[in-house]
């Protein structure tokens, strides 16, 4: 019984590691699309093409993201903002967005 529990815990941990690896691939694809957007102006179209492709859908699924059209629209919107993923995921950016949201709420 203990072997079964250890094996299940190990498999669960391996699954989490694989999911994080594929999530990193998604973040890299977003950064590449942002770079394309700054250089060529076609970043949202590039990420949409990738996310709708067979490989893109597979990577999104393995990352734990449902590869539907709503997700594609969200990825396109993220790329059009032009904020790199490392910056967008930082604490400073989160705090800045929160302050901006409060200021917008007070102005309304």
Q: For 43-70, write each residue's pLDDT tens digit.
A: 999 999 999 999 999 999 999 999 999 9
**Pair 36, 42: CB distance under 8 Å:** yes
27 domain residue, yes or no: yes
101 domain residue, yes or no: no
- Rounded CA-CA distance 34/17 in Å is 26
76 domain residue, yes or no: yes
Using 50, 70 and 90 to split pLDDT, how confident is the model at 31? Answer: very high
102 domain residue, yes or no: no
Number of domains in the chain: 1
- Which residue range(s) make up the domain with 22? 2-83
26 domain residue, yes or no: yes
- Rounded CA-CA distance 22/29 in Å is 11
- Rounded CA-CA distance 83/10 in Å is 36
64 domain residue, yes or no: yes
37 pLDDT more than 90: yes
Alpha carbon 22 to chain centroid, angstroms: 10
Taken in order 89, 91, 93, 94, is the CA torsion positive or negative? positive
106 domain residue, yes or no: no
């Amino acid at each position: 019984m203990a072997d079964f529990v250890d094996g299940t815990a190990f498999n669960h941990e391996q699954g989490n590691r694989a999911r994080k690896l594929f999530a990193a691939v998604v973040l890299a694809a977003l950064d590449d699309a942002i770079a394309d957007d700054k250089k060529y102006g076609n970043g949202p179209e590039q990420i949409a093409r990738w996310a709708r492709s067979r490989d893109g859908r597979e990577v999104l699924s393995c990352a734990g993201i449902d590869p539907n059209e709503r997700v594609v629209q969200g990825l396109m919107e993220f790329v059009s903002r032009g904020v790199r993923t490392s910056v967008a995921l930082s604490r400073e950016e989160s705090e800045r967005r929160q302050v901006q949201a409060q200021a917008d709420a007070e102005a309304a």
